Chain A
Amino acid sequence: GQNIDQPTEMTATEGAIVQINCTYQTSGFNGLFWYQQHAGEAPTFLSYNVLDGLEEKGRFSSFLSRSKGYSYLLLKELQMKDSASYLCAVTTFTPSGGSYIPTFGRGTSLIVHP
């Protein structure tokens, strides 16, 4: 099975930087997704890391260490609209082949205040 752990809730100030961590234990690891989900809306894709290292995309960056089973999402220059749930999801190879099945953590609720 898979075990994915991320903090339940975080708060930060507008304009600041916040790092959301995700640790995982799984077999057949392929890659790790980060999704953003506003209340009542669909999760939207932020990043997908397969190789170790940092990938930067505008204000958002994602880091992966496969050997440590660890990832983080870094959000810079926080805006009020960044208040949302951030979901970490691990993809693994499936015995049936074909696509990978993402397994999600419970999500981290980020509250950005003025």
Chain B
Amino acid sequence: GAGVSQSPRYKVAKRGQDVALRCDPISGHVSLFWYQQALGQGPEFLTYFQNEAQLDKSGLPSDRFFAERPEGSVSTLKIQRTQQEDSAVYLCASVGQTSSDYGYTFGSGTRLTVV
């Protein structure tokens, strides 16, 4: 597609509920990143994929967070047993490999509110 698409745009979850957030990167983009952005803060790195391989998951805050990209395109970020501190905007970004393509293109994010 023309850009990075994320769904849902907004999600309200009850504490303890599991959620799944989807990211459709730009077609052909090899690398995909997930970030968490709290209100008034910059994005915080969560995890990174190159094709289907998850090369870095050092930013995942707990074992309740899990991400996958089984076919090297669409990625899903899953949060189990959500807690109020998980409330944030979750951003996905993809980047191509050409030397002229420095920009990491972000999706509009999923705003998660845990109540």
Is the beta-carbon distance between A45 and B105 smaller than 8 angstroms?
yes
Residues A94 and B106 in contact, CB atoms below 8 Å apart: no
**Shortest Cβ distance from A44 into B: residue:** B106
Q: Number of contact residues on A: which range applies? A: 20 to 34
A15 contacts B by Cβ under 8 Å: no
Expressed in whole angstroms, the minimum distance between the Cβ of B109 and any Cβ of chain A is 6
Residue in A41, A44, A48, A98 whose beta carbon sits within 8 Å of that of B102 in the complex = A48
| Residue pair A42, B106 in contact (C-beta under 8 Å) | yes
Structural contact, B43 and A43, CB atoms closer than 8 A: yes
Residue count of chain B within 8 Å CB distance of chain A = 26
Do the beta carbons of B43 and A87 come within 8 Å of each other? yes
* B31 interface contact, C-beta 8 A: yes
Residues of B within 8 A of A27 (CB): none
**Complex partner residue of B108 from A42, A98, A102, CB under 8 angstroms:** A42
- Chain A CB within 10 A, most for which of B31, B91, B95, B106: B106
Partner of B31, one of A35, A99, A107: A99
Cβ of A24 < 8 Å from any Cβ of B? no
Contact flag A41-B108 (CB < 8 Å), given A87-B42, A96-B55, A103-B45: yes
Smallest beta-carbon distance A23→chain B, Å: 14
Most buried by A among B35, B104, B106: B104
What chain A residues lie within 8 Å of B45 (beta carbons)? 101-103
Q: How far is the CB of B23 from chain A (nearest CB, A)?
A: 12
B95 near A104 with CB under 8 A, answer no
Known A44-B106, A45-B104, A98-B31; judge A107-B42 contact (CB<8 A): yes
Residues of A within 8 A of B (CB): 31, 33, 35, 41-45, 48, 87, 89, 94, 96-99, 101-107
